[in-house]
Amino acid sequence: MGDAMDRKASGGQVPPDPLGGMGIAEFGAALRAGRTSAEATTRAYLARIAAVEPRIGCFLHVARDAALASARAMDALLRAGTDLGPLMGVPVAVKDLFFVDGMPTRAGSDIDVSDLVGAEAGMVRRLRRLGAVIIGKARQSEFAFAANLRKHAPWNPWDARTKRMAGTSSGGSAVAMASRLAAFTLGSDAGGSVRQPAALNGVVGYKATVEFLPTDGALALSSTFDSIGTFHPGVADAALVLSALRDEPPIAPRAPRGLRLGLDRRFALDAAAPGVAARFAAALEALQREGVELVPISTPGVDEIPRMAGQLVPAEMVAFYGAERLRANRALVDPVAWERIVPGLEASAHDYLRLVALHRGLVRRGMAAMEGLDGWVMPTVPEFPQPVADFSTVERVHWWNGRVNDATRLANYLGQCAISLPLPADDPGALPAGLQVVCAPGADRALLAIGMAIEQVIGTGDAPDVAGFA
């Protein structure tokens, strides 16, 4: 009822983004100066959600009353002189797989997984302690297994006429961020599930090193590769959020001059669609003009991507959800997701241990390849977001999943941290693409400092006009 009233009040129009291009730091300054309030900001986001969500469909649950109560509490605390830090009063949307008290957790599936839902996620507890306002839960693909054939997928907000691929499995969080339905959004990434939808939706997507941020209190895909990720309009917000969550000093941007970034032209560019390759090449030229050195490399581990994605990840997924549960509910599972699950049902303990050992070796190879470099750079996804109607068979969806995930999966399998930045385009309405930066395990602060340096050169991404979804 509340959302319907908000939409009626907007007269069928999409209310403006309450941050209006401000970063989280600027919003915090305005909040503390009394120029805005957490409640007003939350109401504005709820009104935007109500206006576009019926078509965009990126939310599993909108916690209207709870979010407004939390926002009012933050305003009261500030008036009383209690300041919880830079995330205080900041509305955030959380991916479906995280446990949030009072909200459903479905794993994007029709299978009952309620017995697996436990105490509220560690990340959500941290956000609450820092004063963030949990505005709702964003949709994901089934079990976080890439694009599905039959399950609901959100609408990519860059094209209101044609439904295009919005990315998975954190696609709902990426769409919510691109549509400016929260100040930032939370996802998870075991093989590109943050960076890949970030690129397809024209936002920043940061994937942390495994265990750099807590993953407890969530439905798991892969205990080896699951990592936290966040979506933002710009890298500065990603840096601010990470520093706040880890209670660390602010991250300062690097200077572009002197950066040494590895570039594997065969892996990164040869297979990219011409338009993506051209925009990526233009960004590299701009970086080189500012003193960034591009070092030719041969990326390790490329040949092992199919084994990690096709065998290790499914084995860990089946171990978490239970083979008996999955077999008993096969008819409810999306056919693409089911084909990903089958190798996990068939994996032996011996096979699994060999794959884990292989992953450890890949991490060592990746770290060796990073010697003397600040990071690697490549297109995040080699394609622009394609029409959903072009993927009507299991075979076609499998092709898409492999096509858009290889460059992102490799960072996971090498144990690294990574970020995707929007690639600039001459046409403001052009479909989005992304530039990925990858750094060594644990070098997350350095990664975000590099991301800010690159963003200073190539610029930040635009937001899509979502008026056509109202």
Give Cα 70 to chain centroid, integer Å: 24
Distance CA 399, CA 405 (A): 10
Contacts of 101 (CB under 8 A, 6+ apart): 120
Distance CA 418, CA 208 (A): 7
Q: How far is CA 263 from CA 196, 207, 255, 268, 378, in A?
A: 19, 20, 19, 7, 7
Distance CA 179, CA 119 (A): 30
Element (H, E) at 234: none
The letter for the amino acid at 189 is: D
Per the structure block, which two tokens stand in for 121? 């996620």
- DSSP symbol at 254: P
Contact in structure between 455 and 421 (CB atoms under 8 Å): yes
Alpha helices in 121-228 (DSSP H): 122-129, 171-178, 195-201
- According to DSSP, the β-strands at 133-138 and 91-95 are parallel
Contact in structure between 84 and 196 (CB atoms under 8 Å): no
Q: CA quadruple 252, 423, 139, 306: dihedral positive or negative?
A: negative
DSSP string for 400-468? HHHHHHHHHHHHHHTT-EEEEEEPP-SSTTSPP-EEEEEE-TT-HHHHHHHHHHHHHHH-PPPPP--GG
Mind telling me the catalytic residues? 95, 169, 193
Distance CA 434, CA 202 (A): 7
Element (H, E) at 32: helix 24-32
